Amino acid sequence: MKRIFIQNSLFQVLFFLIISVVIGFGSNWLKDDPIPLFAVKLKIATTDDLLSDIVTESVLRAIGLDQARKFHNEGVVFVDARDLEYYEEGHIPGAWNSNHFMELIFRLDSLQGKDRSIVTYCDGDDCGSSEDLAYDLQNEGFTKIFVFVGGWSEWQQAGYSIKK
Amino acid sequence: MRFITQSSIFIISFRLIIGGILVFASLDKISAPGEFARDIAHYHILPLGTENLLALVLPWLELTVGIGLILGVFITGASILSMTMMGMFIIAIGSAILRGYNIECGCGLKEGEMVGVGKIIEDSIYFLLAWLIYKRSGNWFEILPKAG
């Protein structure tokens, strides 16, 4: 009887599924920094996030085109999260490329420390690498990071200056 | 195809290949589920923030199924789940390509690997190997359930 049971395909599939669910949730629960069970979308930056010069806590927020343009005019550092070949084809003027991450961290830290604003961007709404880069920078201790969600596509469509 | 499913050498090799790939692919995802969840989110397929649930379970499923294939535990179930996972990856990558997304694959095999037709072909080959394992005609080096 037991033999027939464990030869059953459904039993075998459920065996792997149940073990994975238990270990997956269990290991997350035991971690010091567990991820929430449901993802929270990146919040849009509020006025407080944008104005706070004295950082009390780490800020990682999304911004739109207008705010990105404002930051650009104020000389905030922009970091292009796209591959180098796309960066070389064209990018937001003054933007740095993120392909050499350790070098990027060193340059950012030397130039402005870890508590000044940084804007990351990639192709547009769906690319995701700007958000990944933002989290990587946050993990390295940078405290004010803004993700320009519309990215390169929106910047170009708006007709703002670009660098080739 | 019968000569393949009847060959212990082929089937054991396929088990080691698929098992090895699944185990290797799971390691980065297990160590950084948050990053993997963001990779899943970029596909814009799952609703209501459920990418985190998948990011917590899928890597462990890859690991346990991979170990099962290598050690010879519940090979039928492991091959069904391998086919299911490869099928899911093919659909996800295909839908991303059709929608024009230029996103990282999040496959866990190579850092920065982007979605593309090459990935679909690769996963289709793995799907085929998993199917051949499922159709095997002998229980070679399977420790559970025992053959015979």
**Whole-complex ipTM:** 0.94
Question: What confidence score (pLDDT) does residue B11 get?
Answer: 94
Residue type, A56: T
Confirm or reject contact between B50 and chain A (CB < 8 A).
yes
Q: Does A87 fall in a domain?
A: yes
The nearest CA of chain B is from the CA of A145 a distance in Å of: 17
Instruction: Report residue B10 as tokens.
Output: 């082929």
Q: Residues with Cβ < 8 Å from A104, sequence gap 6 or more?
A: A79, A96, A97, A98
Q: Is residue A41 situated within a structural domain?
A: no
Q: Are residues A65 and A122 in the same domain?
A: yes
Structural domain including A27 reads: 1-35
Closest to A18 (Cα-Cα) out of A29, A26, A30: A26
Q: Are residues A60 and A100 in the same domain?
A: yes
Helix, strand or coil, per DSSP, at residue B142: coil
Residue A11 shares a structural domain with residue A53 = no
Please tell me the pTM assigned to this model.
0.78
Torsion angle, alpha carbons of A19, A20, A23, A24, to 10: -160
Instruction: Determine if residue A94 is left, alpha or beta; phi over 0 gives left, psi from -120 to 50 gives alpha, anything else beta.
Output: left
CB contact under 8 A, B56 and A35: yes
**Domain for residue A163, yes or no?**
no
Edge to edge, the sheet with strand A96-97 lists: A59-63, A144-148, A117-121, A77-80, A96-97
Do residue A24 and residue B52 have CB atoms under 8 angstroms apart? no
Same domain, A68 and A13: no
A41-80 in b/e form (b: 16+ CB < 10 A) is ebeebeeebbebeeeeeebbbbbebebbbebbeeebbbbb
Residues A134 and A108 in one domain: yes
One pLDDT digit (tens) per residue for chain A, 164 residues = 556 666 788 999 999 999 999 999 999 999 988 888 988 777 777 766 666 555 566 788 899 999 999 999 999 999 999 888 889 999 999 999 988 899 999 999 999 988 899 999 998 877 778 988 998 899 899 999 999 999 999 999 999 988 88
Say if residue A24 is in the same domain as residue A72.
Answer: no
Pick from A16, A40, A132: which is nearest to B78 by CB?
A16
Check: CB of residue A123 under 8 Å from CB of residue A110: no
Total domains in chain A come to 2
pLDDT of residue A163: 85
**Does residue A40 lie within any of the structural domains?**
no
Same domain? A88 vs A13: no
Provide the pLDDT for residue A2. Answer: 59
Residue A94 lies in a domain: yes
A24 min Cα distance to partner chain B (Å) = 5
Q: Identify whether A146 is part of a domain.
A: yes
pLDDT the model gives residue A42: 78
Classify A109 as helix, strand or coil: helix
What count of CB pairs under 8 Å joins A to B?
A: 104
User: Do A67 and A146 reside in the same domain of the chain?
Assistant: yes
| Distance from C-alpha of B23 to C-alpha of A96, rounded to nearest angstrom | 36
Pair (A94, A125) in one structural domain: yes
The answer to the question of residue A85 being in a domain is yes
B-chain CB neighbours of A17 within 8 Å are 61, 81
Q: Which amino acid is at A20?
A: S
**Residue A164 located in a structural domain:** no
CATH number for the domain including A98?
A: 3.40.250.10
Reading chain B (148 residues) residue by residue, the pLDDT tens digits are 778 888 889 999 999 999 999 999 999 999 989 889 988 988 989 988 899 999 999 999 999 999 999 999 999 999 999 999 999 999 999 999 998 887 888 887 877 788 889 999 999 999 999 999 999 988 888 887 765 4
- The answer to whether residues A16 and A84 belong to one domain is no
What pLDDT shows up at residue B133? 96
Q: How many helices (H) and strands (E) does chain B have?
A: 6, 0
Cβ burial, residue A107 (10 Å; 0-12/13-18/19+):
middle
Q: Same domain for A79 and A11?
A: no
B134: closest CA of chain A, how far (Å): 10
A107 and A67 fall within a common domain:
yes
Helices of type H across B72-138: 75-98, 117-134
- How do beta strands A59-63 and A96-97 pair? unpaired
Residue A41 amino acid letter = K
Contact B81 A16 (CB under 8 A): yes
